[in-house]
Amino acid sequence: MADLKIGAYICKGCGLEDRLDMKQIEMTATRDGKAAVAHQHEMLCSKEGVEMIRKSIDEEEVTNLVIIACSRRAKVEAFNFTDVAVARANLREGVIWLRPDTDENRETTQEMADDYVRMACAEAKAMHAPHPSGEQDLNKHILVVGGGVSGMTAALEAAKAGYPATIVEKSGALGGHVAELYKRTPQKAAPVGVSNRHKQKCPGPEETGIEELIRQVEEHPDITVHLNSTIAKTSGAPGRFSADIATESGSTTTENFGAIVQASGFKPYDANQLPEFGYGKSPDVVTNLELEALAKAANGGPIKRPSDGKEVRSVAFIQCAGQRSEKEGHLPYCSGFCCTASIKQALYFKEQNPDCDTTVLYTDLRTPGAAGEDFYRRGQQEEVTFTKGAVSEVVAGGELTVKFKDIILGEDTEMVADLVVLATGQVPNSGPDPYATLSAEDDEEEGGEEANEETNTVTVSVESILNLDYRQGTDLPQLKYGFTDSHFICFPYETRRTGIYAAGPVRRPMDIKQAVDDATGAAMKAIQEVHNAAAGRAAHPRSGDLSYPSFRKEGCTQCKRCTVECPFGAIDEDEEGYPKYNESRCRRCGTCMGACPVRVISFENYSVETVNQQIKNCDIPDEFDEKPRILALACENDAYPALDQAAMSGEELTPWARVIPVRCLGSVNLSWITDAMNSGYDGVVLMGCQKGDDYQCHFVRGSAMAAERMSKVGDTLSSLNLEPERVVIHEVAITDIQRAPQLINDMAKVVDEIGMSPFKF
């Protein structure tokens, strides 16, 4: 390995030269930062500037770069030098854009910039250029679990793009619940102007198209279908998954895959839990899915009631049956598709039973999607009655009596119907939640309260879908109500198991159109991961990162904290009880690094030491200079971008702050806090993402783990005779443009009140 040689490259553009002494910056890099090479350029990110850096790397044999310019979030493509380690000193957004341009600020602004240069050089010295593991080849084969509309769409989209797909379907036929439907809601909105002219009707129910979708799947040469089959075992990692596909007959075949899409769909809500609505007491009380069977049996003719085959003359649809309710056994959420489904079914009766009195009873009517409002208007055009009423009971006798409160009139009333249709919802067809079924030992290791927070209140199937051989459990972790944990904003489709993507109603309640779009997105993510895994790169959010964790075995105490706290199941244990890292599963968040009490876990380009060196290489004035130092550890996914945007918006930051971006607050090791306080910092501000059920953490549980660890910092501070107010942790969203800098400014006020640290040099 070549000897370490640091090169510092200083940009004078974007107003930096106007606000800062560039000779001083260069001297700081060479004298304090020990940079062997230093060059300035008018615009470092320009073609000429990048060429200057490239030439310096090649001719001056630079191994570690320090880019002294703008935020590490800016000009990423320009400064993408993959053969060397790269550190960034943020003088634009981090200094001059956050500090007012006045004579009285000039000294502290220059000090701030010099500190960031020292810190970046120290970081670079502790870094190494990451290299891929080289543990796998390109495997373009994609496994799709589930043969409904989501699974078939995912397989087709992958196969059309040149990625062979295998569908494993538990039942004996493709199609899922869509194959049970008579018709579907329209996919497109009405033409412009149609909805406003009563003579032209809005679109009505249309053919499902499921037969054509099945035909395309069965005829595609790059799609293999296994019916009456399940996944008996899944092992390996992205790029090298191994799945045992078991059939009903007992035979098993093993195939290798690059990525997996779980599209296991949903199960209809069990209407037997709704005795108040007469389900199970009268055959003429049916669910929305059971009505589809009646409509298919009618085949365009009159729909007849099950009890006596009589043509239905009056029908009542009860919306939110067992949904949006906190009653025991009910679903607390809205399933999303039910209102449009009831309108569609009401139109069945208007077309096939022309004289049928058709009433939809609802408390709130929701018609999402492109055709939603127009489809509702089509129901009005066909004289479907929409009544805002809360149904309390359906009395089953010779006829059905629906009792409800008319919400508009505020009166209790009732109606008689030949048939009652319950708009029941979707229950995700998930496997057991690994975090809800942890052993008592692991539950204790993980911290009982945190584990309990993730236990869901809605019971789902306990039959495993994937049968993962991960130490962390057999199936995909869940978030709420049994749905697979897949953040719809930060990382849609991606689950806590890298390379395994969720699509369709197993991820959240949705209709057919949404499921098709969802499956397309999941297929694209799977294709991306196939190539990332082959190149040894990380998945989102650190896409392209070649680094992965390693540990010093001789220092490991086998405490298992890294194994338990990893949000992505990337760490197993070998036969001796030491951590066994799987770099393809790893998202490079560093949560394991933050968890390690003996600091033996590190990445080539991010470690306890890279951050520790930054902390220690900040100049700490003595107390008589009356210049406090506040350390801010900011999550690179939300808090740090918020600070960047604050700078762009002209917000002001205290000159005493020194901000260090971290991959995730979960990667923060407690040693950083104690070392900072021992070094003379007066306060520490940790800024991470929102945790809990509505988490915004890109690494799922990093913020939660950091909060758990930081809850013990008070004891450490007390042992050092320091005030607990000196260390605070905040949840910060990427939109907190004014709040993010203010939180650091608030710490400056706290330090002003309680005084500077007694640990000053």
pLDDT computed for residue 195 by the predictor? 54
pLDDT computed for residue 373 by the predictor? 86
> pLDDT per residue over 255-277, tens digit each?
999 999 999 999 999 999 999 99
What is the reported pTM? 0.91
pLDDT computed for residue 439 by the predictor? 42
Q: Which of 363-377, 548-562, 709-723 has the highest mean predicted lDDT (pLDDT)?
A: 548-562
Q: How far is CA 660 from CA 30, 71, 686, 748, 752, in A?
A: 21, 11, 10, 17, 22
Distance CA 565, CA 258 (A): 26
Amino acid identity, position 174: L
- Average pLDDT on 705-722 reads 85
Tokens linked to 64:
């570690």
**451 falls in which pLDDT band (50, 70, 90)?**
very low
Tokens linked to 66:
């320090």
**1 falls in which pLDDT band (50, 70, 90)?**
very low
Helix (H, G, I), strand (E, B) or coil at 536: coil
Helices (H) and strands (E) in the chain, counts: 20, 29
Q: Dump the DSSP string for 491-510.
A: STTB-SSTTEEE-GGGTS--
Q: Where are the beta strands (DSSP E) in 399-477?
A: 400-406, 411-417, 419-422, 426-428
Tokens linked to 445:
């290791």
Distance CA 217, CA 213 (A): 6
**447 falls in which pLDDT band (50, 70, 90)?**
very low
Question: Would you give the end-to-end CA distance of the chain in angstroms?
Answer: 37
Tokens linked to 152:
């078939």
Tokens linked to 167:
């569908």
pLDDT computed for residue 368 by the predictor? 84
Best CA proximity match to 734, nearest among 684, 685, 690: 690
Best CA proximity match to 664, nearest among 563, 753, 532, 566: 566
- Average pLDDT on 510-529 reads 95
**196 falls in which pLDDT band (50, 70, 90)?**
low
* Main-chain phi, psi angles of 247, to 5 degrees: -100, 170
Tokens linked to 95:
């200094």
Whether residue 156 contacts residue 273, with contact meaning beta carbons closer than 8 Å, is answered with: no
Helix (H) or strand (E) holding 685: strand 683-688
**189 falls in which pLDDT band (50, 70, 90)?**
confident
Burial of 523 (0-12, 13-18, 19+ CB in 10 A): buried
Best CA proximity match to 236, nearest among 699, 589, 570, 579: 570
Query: Within 10 A of 536 (CB to CB), how many other CB atoms are there?
Result: 20
Amino acid identity, position 74: A
Give me the domains of the chain, ranges plus CATH numbers: 1-129 (3.40.50), 142-265+429-439+448-535 (3.50.50.60), 268-426 (3.50.50.60), 620-761 (3.40.50)
Query: Within 10 A of 43 (CB to CB), how many other CB atoms are there?
Result: 14
Tokens linked to 70:
């703008």
**2 falls in which pLDDT band (50, 70, 90)?**
low
Distance CA 328, CA 318 (A): 19
Distance CA 661, CA 471 (A): 31
Best CA proximity match to 132, nearest among 534, 552, 525: 534
Whether residue 165 contacts residue 142, with contact meaning beta carbons closer than 8 Å, is answered with: yes
Tokens linked to 341:
């489904």
H-assigned helices in 503-600: 512-535, 561-565, 591-595
Q: Residues 641, 647, 649, CA angle at the centre, nearest 5°?
A: 105
Write the CB contacts of 320 (distance below 8 Å, at least 6 apart in sequence): 334, 338, 362, 363, 364, 423
Write the CB contacts of 694 (distance below 8 Å, at least 6 apart in sequence): none
Tokens linked to 680:
């003379």
Write the CB contacts of 517 (distance below 8 Å, at least 6 apart in sequence): none
Q: Dump the DSSP string for 66-79.
A: EEEES-TTSSTTTT
- Average pLDDT on 582-598 reads 93
> pLDDT per residue over 238-253, tens digit each?
999 999 999 998 899 9
> pLDDT per residue over 6-59, tens digit each?
999 999 999 999 999 999 999 999 999 999 999 999 999 999 999 999 999 999
Distance CA 508, CA 266 (A): 9
Whether residue 685 contacts residue 747, with contact meaning beta carbons closer than 8 Å, is answered with: yes
* Dihedral angle over CA of 489, 484, 705, 669, nearest 10: -70
pLDDT computed for residue 198 by the predictor? 54
pLDDT computed for residue 488 by the predictor? 67
Distance CA 506, CA 508 (A): 6
**194 falls in which pLDDT band (50, 70, 90)?**
low
Q: Where are the beta strands (DSSP E) in 399-451?
A: 400-406, 411-417, 419-422, 426-428
Best CA proximity match to 567, nearest among 544, 546, 542, 595: 595
pLDDT computed for residue 479 by the predictor? 85
> pLDDT per residue over 725-761, tens digit each?
999 999 999 999 999 999 999 999 999 999 999 887 5
Whether residue 311 contacts residue 302, with contact meaning beta carbons closer than 8 Å, is answered with: yes
> pLDDT per residue over 544-579, tens digit each?
899 999 999 999 999 999 998 999 999 988 889 899
The chain-wide mean pLDDT, for the chain, equals 92
Whether residue 509 contacts residue 336, with contact meaning beta carbons closer than 8 Å, is answered with: yes
Is residue 460 predicted with pLDDT exceeding 90?
A: no
Distance CA 647, CA 97 (A): 5
> pLDDT per residue over 108-166, tens digit each?
999 999 999 999 999 999 999 998 887 778 999 999 999 999 999 999 999 999 999 99
Query: Within 10 A of 67 (CB to CB), how many other CB atoms are there?
Result: 26
Is residue 446 predicted with pLDDT exceeding 60?
A: no
Name the pairing type of β-strands 6-11 and 37-41. Answer: parallel
Is residue 427 predicted with pLDDT exceeding 60?
A: yes
**457 falls in which pLDDT band (50, 70, 90)?**
very low
Distance CA 603, CA 626 (A): 37
Query: Within 10 A of 167 (CB to CB), how many other CB atoms are there?
Result: 26
Handedness of CA 136, 138, 143, 149 (dihedral sign): positive
Whether residue 646 contacts residue 98, with contact meaning beta carbons closer than 8 Å, is answered with: yes
Helix (H) or strand (E) holding 145: strand 142-145
